[in-house]
Amino acid sequence: MKMFQLLFFTAALCVFSCGVSAERRIVSAGGSVTETLYALGVGDDIVAVDTSSSYPLPVHSLPKVGYYRQLSPEGVLSMRPTMLVGHNNAGPQATLDALRRAGLELTLVQAPQNIQGVLTAIRVLAERFGKEDEGKTLTVSIREQLKQVAKEGVDRLKVGLILTSGQRGLTAAGKNTMPDDIIGHAGGLNAFSTHDGYKAISPESLLLAQPNILLVPSHVAREGVEVLCDSELLTLWVKQNGCNLHVVDSIMFMGMSPRVGESVQALHHTLSTFSQEH
d(CA 123, CA 71): 26
Compute the radius of gyration of the chain from its Cα atoms: 21
Task: Identify the structural domains of the chain with CATH numbers, from first to last.
Answer: 2-111 (3.40.50.1980), 154-277 (3.40.50.1980)
C-alpha angle 78/251/119, rounded to 5°? 95
One-letter amino acid at 271 equals: L
Region of residue 95 (phi > 0: left; psi between -120 and 50: alpha; otherwise: beta):
alpha
- pLDDT tens per residue, the chain (278 residues)? 444 454 444 444 444 444 434 589 999 999 999 999 999 999 999 999 999 999 999 999 999 999 999 999 999 999 999 999 999 999 999 999 999 999 999 999 998 889 999 999 999 999 999 999 999 999 999 999 999 999 987 888 999 999 986 667 899 999 999 999 999 999 999 999 999 999 999 999 999 999 999 999 998 888 888 888 888 888 888 898 888 889 999 888 887 799 999 999 999 999 999 888 87
Residues 6+ apart with CB under 8 A from 122: 36, 39, 40, 135, 138, 139, 258
One-letter amino acid at 2 equals: K
